Amino acid sequence: MTGDRETGASDRSAPPATAYECGICWTVYDPALGDPYIQAPPGTPFALLPAHWHCPNCEAPKARFMALRE
């Protein structure tokens, strides 16, 4: 998935369907897919992931993710 980077994960003004990209390894969290590892169902916005959630690839904290704009 490609797109322009917006601000970091602390930006709660992003629409719920906004995908977020890890600032370390570029892994993308897509709310349409959710996160089966933590049992976050498809449609779960990034802002509703638990505070302890981290990048499934490099274990970067949630704060290292940046909103993507299509």
Confidence of residue 16 (pLDDT cuts 50, 70, 90): confident
CA distance 60 to 5: 17
Task: Please say whether the dihedral angle defined by the alpha carbons of residues 32, 28, 22 and 68, taken in this order, is positive or negative.
Answer: negative
> Could you read off the pLDDT of 25-37 as tens digits, one per residue?
999 999 999 999 9
Give the residue among 17, 15, 18 at the shortest CA–CA distance from 4: 18
- In CATH terms, 4-69 corresponds, of 2.20.28.10, 1.20.1250.20, 2.60.40.1580, 1.10.760.10, to 2.20.28.10
pTM, two decimal places: 0.79
